[in-house]
Structure 1
Amino acid sequence: MIKSEKEKMLSGDHYNAGDEDLVRERNYARNLTFEFNHTRPNEKEKRQQILKQLFNSKGSFHIEAPFNCDYGYNIEIGENFYANYGCIILDVNKVKIGDNVLLAPNVQIYTAAHPIDPTERLTGKEYAKPIVIGNNVWVGGGTIICPGVKIGDNVTIGAGSVVTKDIPDHVIAVGNPCRVIKSI
């Protein structure tokens, strides 16, 4: 059986991002995030309704505008989630965020990747790897979380970090590339 471009995307295979169905689904998410980003701060109920159309949440959450994502339906957030201003989640693959996760301003979560070989990259093919963020995690401002990364439970990521590899449970990690500096 031949996989659809969406099935290829979600399985981590190379896929065509220009596929008509994927473009339509991204446009749906972009329209919702545009609507969300242009609500008034006191329109909390309207904001929540928009975001509930966008992604899968088990519980309470709060996201400050502006917020942007690719599809929305690939984002799963746990209880008591907070994302500060300027959060970007490129959810070309699954992004699973645990309970009690706090994202400081301008955190960027990228599942999307491109081939390193320039000839292959010019074909327009892309691929993606899932990201998992555990429970009780605080991610400092301006942090970038790269494709395929798993961040454990009870972790603090320092501001400005670039997380390129998995981070174990119960640590403080900082830097570019992000590395563990202390167990907690």
Structure 2
Amino acid sequence: MDAGEWYCCFDPELDALRMRARRAVHAHNSMTPDERGPMASELRALFVTAKDAFIEAPFHCAYGMNISLGSGVYLNSSCVILDTATVSIGDGTMLGPAVQIYCPEHHRDVTLRKSGLEIARPVSIGKDVWIGGGAIILGGVTIGDGAIVGAGAVVTRSVAAGTTVVGNPARPLRQF
């Protein structure tokens, strides 16, 4: 998984790592806002870095250990990060409600897919990016600094810095 090669998602070691993340996510999601603060300590302990990020509940991640959040990052409620590969989110970036980031890609061959074969592709989101509610970011995508992803967009390709993309699949807005 870490090497970016095909792996079996049913591996017992991966099951144990996902269980650790589930416990941390449960702690975060079940605490009162006063107890939790910006992020439950159990969840913060999973991440590579989380600086002064703020994550609203509910939240879900697959492993947590592949997530890096810059300073001032804000994740609104119901965000999902399936971090089978590295997910880095730069300083000052904001994710709207229900934004989903998917690093895993299951095998296209049905027999291999049934056996749990998948590959993980990283996601990199720059500084000061705004991602609208309900957007989906697929693995292998890089979003440049200052970009805007419109609500509900499905981002299948990288987005240049300062660009606004909308739609499914996400495409740059035309300048008038």
Determine helix, strand or coil for the equivalent of 1:127.
Answer: strand
2:28 matched to which residue of 1?
36
- Post-superposition offset of 1:117: 1.9
User: Alignment RMSD, CA only?
Assistant: 1.4
1:90 matched to 2:112? The reply is no
Report the Cα offset of residue 45 of structure 1: 4.2
Deviations 1:50-89 (A, max 9, x none): 2221212252110000000011010011110000000000
SS at match of 1:11: coil
Q: Work out whether residues 36 and 47 of structure 1, in 8 Å CA contact, stay in contact via their aligned partners in 2.
A: yes
- CA deviation vs aligned residue, 1:125-144 (integer Å, no higher than 9, x gap): 11110000011100000000
Flag structure 2 segments of 5+ consecutive residues without an equivalent.
Answer: none
Name the residue aligned to 1:144: 136
CA contact 1:33–1:69 (8 Å) conserved in 2: yes
Matches of residues 32-181 of structure 1 in structure 2 within 5 Å?
A: 32-45=24-37, 47-57=39-49, 59-181=51-173
Shift of 1:31: 0.6
Change (3 A) 1:46 1:64: closer
Q: Which moved more, 1:122-131 or 1:96-105?
A: 122-131
Amino acid at match of 1:10: D
- Counterpart contact for 2:21–2:43, Cα < 8 Å: no
For 1:41, the aligned partner's letter is P
Describe the superposition over 1:96-130 as per-residue Cα deviations: whole angstroms up to 9, x where unpaired: 11111100000000001111122321222111100
Structure 1, unaligned runs of 5 or more: 1-8
Identity %: 42
Quick one: distance in 2 between partners of 1:42 and 1:123? 43
CA distance in 2, matches of 1:48, 1:34: 10
